[in-house]
Chain A
Amino acid sequence: MPEYETHRYDVIVIGAGGAGLRAAIEARARGLRTALVCKSLLGKAHTVMAEGGVAAAMGNVYSEDNWQVHFRDTMRGGKYLNNWRMAQLHAQEAPDRVYELESWGALFDRTKDGRILQRDFGGHRYARLAHVGDRTGLELIRTLQQRAVHMDIDVFMECKVLRLLTDGDGAVSGAIGYWRPTGDMVVFESKATVLATGSIGRSYTYTSNSWESTGDGHAMAMWAGADVIEMECVQFHPTGMVWPLSVRGLLVTEGVRGDGGALKNSEDRRFMFDYIPEMFRAETADTEEEADAWYEDHINYRRTPDLLPRDEVARAINSEVKAGRGSPHGGVYLDIASRRSPEYIRRRLPSMYHQFMELAGVDITSEPMEVGPTCHYMMGGVRVDADTEASTVPGLFAAGEVAGGMHGANRLGGNSLSDLLVFGRRAGIGASDYAEGRSGEPSVSPAEIEEVVADALSPFGRDGGENPYDIHQDLQSCMQALVGIIRTGSELEQALEKLEELKERTGKVSVSGGRAYNPGWNLATDLPSMLTVSTAIAQGALHRKESRGGHTRDDYPGPDPELGKVNFVQRQNAQRGYAAPVQITPEPLPQMPAELQALLEEGH
């Protein structure tokens, strides 16, 4: 019999990023016994890296702004694949969530008259992002963390959840994981469980995400029988660092282009002029003179193509590199040095200046940067009810990046942090309601626990098996090469085959050393999630035979109006686990009410 400790709670929240913290605060405020579980230390979650800001239509800078405009921007940005109800709730509730943060101690930058200052960002019609310099995510997570600490929420840090546990009827009743410092097993029994585990970026070689982004929540939900949607929609940020290798993937903020930086290829040509899509032609400058004049005068000139939506720019960079016009290290040049004065650059982009100076030895005031696309955000995720964040499995809720639907096929900058707050809170309420309504104490099956423990510990029992680091690297190269920004049917099929191979190898992983803080073993327990998620991404991409938002098919370069009306839903049926097959079916999007539909038309 395996040894483990058991904890009983009303609500457990897995993940302590913005979404998880907000959910736990809400559940605890209801007086429920609440636990917050995260696999690194409290306050280190990936949310801490967010820079730009929180989108909320407070109208502090432009009084014309309101939730309707924000809603419209979000839907257009998501290429109408969004869950309309989520987009609506998000736009309506974001301002209150931001004000609430302030009453918990957050210090946002101010306008002259003392209100919260808002900044411009791509895809947002008005200046809408409440921010704190370029460290908004830190402010958000620290504020929530400090709030949580004072509410006596039990925090289980460096505790990695391996699997959700279900009762006899298939309702989620808890979870099992292990303490990273000791390797000891922990079982949680809970009436309601909230997933807030964030992103999937670690399945790619070049990503702006932290090591935690292994898609555990996506995978655990699927293993518990929940639906996930839109897994093919992965956002690649066009500008990540490419050199030195050690920082490849690190984000270079959109602000560089916003402040005058231009993309150039090895022939010193501003290639974005060659990639203006039909849809944006009317509003985009077609000469360099006009593009440069736009920075000073938005009214009489059209926008520079360097600031086309993220998916368009990422694709263009990719094509240039493929055509052999890239920079020495496989990116393109982002040049602000020849276009703005050193003083201006240092004043406007202090952290970028230091990031390049310290990590790459590049002085961006005198040399161009080398940049290339980097895996940044997962639009897809657990299918949830917009109002309660309940998944399709009873007892399981999801919020934040792990939940799907809110952002459709492409996320606007700044909409994620507000998503965390709005739906984190709603998930907390949803889970609390469910926990209060659930009769009896939840029960978990010892047999299931035993199986998970045996599985997790199996790598210690093998000798001379596969090295988890090698498998991880192979997985990353496979996803990067075959399921990257530009996809084609044949490559996706190849990727799916390759993933099956990797799953087989994962069954033979062996690790050395003990259980206490053993990174090799920790990685071995991450592999199943990454494989499940990667499979879902590749499979979704294969089925969506069109290009839309973050998903681009070389063999289907345009959008297909029919496919724009469906979600690709994936789930595991009777067989569960990383080795089991994943079913995929198209299902119609939720129907939008006429008055919201009218709002969308208005914008055109």
Chain B
Amino acid sequence: MTTEPAALASEPETATAPVADTTDSTVTLQVWRGDPDGGAFAEYSLPANEGEVVLDVVHRLQAGPAPDLACRWNCKAGKCGSCSAEINGRPRLMCMTRVDELPPGPITVAPMRTFPIIRDLVTDVSFNFAMAKLVPAFSPPPPPAEGYRMQQIDVERGQEFRKCIECFMCQDVCHVIRDHEENKPAYAGPRFFIRIAELEMHPLDTNDRRDLVRQQMGLGMCNITKCCTEVCPEHIKITDNAIIPMKERVVDADFDPVGWLGRKILRRSKTSPTETAAISAYPGPSPSAPAG
């Protein structure tokens, strides 16, 4: 049932399964097997089961021919964002990708490209946890005894971004770091742009993170090509509702002559005291900074 793992790294296109394997009842997976020392696609064929998702097939491989095949998963319901991988070259959740919705022929499953490999389909996503530390915290006024009052229209804006399940596929697909490793230390990525936007649009927040997001988190590196939006499994409109509004807010702060003139005349600072504090407390991204 299982073919020998074959090294197909250079030419997966030619790796068509034997004729007998392409019938409806067989599913062929080319799974990346490897670690920091290198790797290759290994091909496996299994009888297909009705309604399966790619993660099911991976599980069957683990229980059968490939017991040490590494992959992350938790909920198997598209809710935790653990099982991100690149299926047929596109970032997707393995647990939400049905085998029967993919075009016939072998399915390639590779780890996320942007992050260092640990083993097989598992990558080291600590980049994202390091970036998460750099976002200045929510800072509301002290709460009244009865709790804060907010309107649904205001919370809905932030709620869209809080749907994020941290699958990090937007980070993976973003060419700023996917194709340019050297940008990583100075680029927080779309996942954290929506986090910043969420806080900036929070009706109770008192921080101003515009300079921070422009100067240190690399908002200007994004060229709004929208791949993050295309891959987001939560259908968050990352570019339209977070990145572009943040770019516009930066324009308000830095590129709007009318605003600048107004501030000059009224002698107002565009940074609030809290923001100034946040920026001076900002440790600056350093590639080797430990999370702890």
Contact = CB atoms under 8 A, between A and B. Distances in A.
Interface of A: 40-46, 48-49, 58, 99, 102-105, 107-110, 113-116, 132-133, 135, 138-139, 142, 146-147, 149-150, 152, 154-155, 157, 181, 210-212, 243-247, 250-251, 355, 358-361, 467-469, 473, 511-514, 516-521
Contacts of A109: 152, 155
B96 A115 contact: no
Contacts of B155: 107-110
B76 A210 contact: yes
Contact of A513 (B67, B96, B138, B202): B67
A467 B67 contact: yes
A298 B122 CA distance: 52
Given A48-B74, A212-B74, A516-B35, 14 more contacts: A44-B74, A46-B74, A48-B165, A107-B150, A107-B155, A110-B155, A138-B162, A155-B292, A244-B52, A245-B50, A360-B51, A511-B68, A516-B119, A520-B62
A133 B158 CA distance: 13
Contact of B53 (A40, A359, A514): A359
B118 interface: yes
A102 B73 CA distance: 29
Interface residues of B, number: 58
B71 A519 contact: yes
15 contacts: A43-B166, A44-B74, A44-B75, A44-B166, A102-B147, A105-B199, A107-B202, A115-B146, A135-B163, A147-B137, A246-B49, A359-B51, A511-B67, A519-B62, A520-B67
A114 B149 CA distance: 5
Contacts of A115: 146-147, 149
Contacts of B132: 146, 149
Contact of A107 (B51, B81, B122, B158): B158
A520 B159 contact: no
A513 B34 CA distance: 12
Given A244-B50, A246-B49, A99 B147 contact: yes
B118 A516 contact: yes
A116 B146 CA distance: 10
Contact of B79 (A49, A139, A517): A49
B252 interface: no
B52 A517 contact: no
Nearest to B133: A149
B9 interface: no
Given A114-B150, A511-B68, A520-B68, A355 B119 contact: no
The 8 closest A-B pairs by CB, nearest first: A244-B51, A513-B68, A114-B149, A520-B67, A105-B138, A517-B70, A469-B63, A246-B56
Contact of B118 (A113, A181, A511): A181
A147 B81 CA distance: 20
Q: Is the interface of A mostly helix, strand, loop or mixed?
A: loop
B74 A40 contact: yes
B208 interface: no
Contacts of A521: 68
Contacts, number: 162
B151 A518 contact: no
B103 interface: no
B69 interface: yes
Contacts of B82: 40-41, 44
Contacts of A107: 150, 155, 158-159, 162, 202
A81 B73 CA distance: 35
B254 interface: no
A41 B50 contact: no
Nearest to B140: A103
Contact of B162 (A132, A355, A512): A132
A108 B150 CA distance: 9
Nearest to B145: A99
A113 B165 CA distance: 30
Nearest to A137: B79
Contacts of B138: 104-105, 146
Contacts of A212: 74
A48 B68 contact: no
Contacts of A512: 67-68
B218 to A, nearest CB: 20
A114 B146 CA distance: 11
B148 A358 contact: no
A102 B159 contact: no
A418 to B, nearest CB: 15
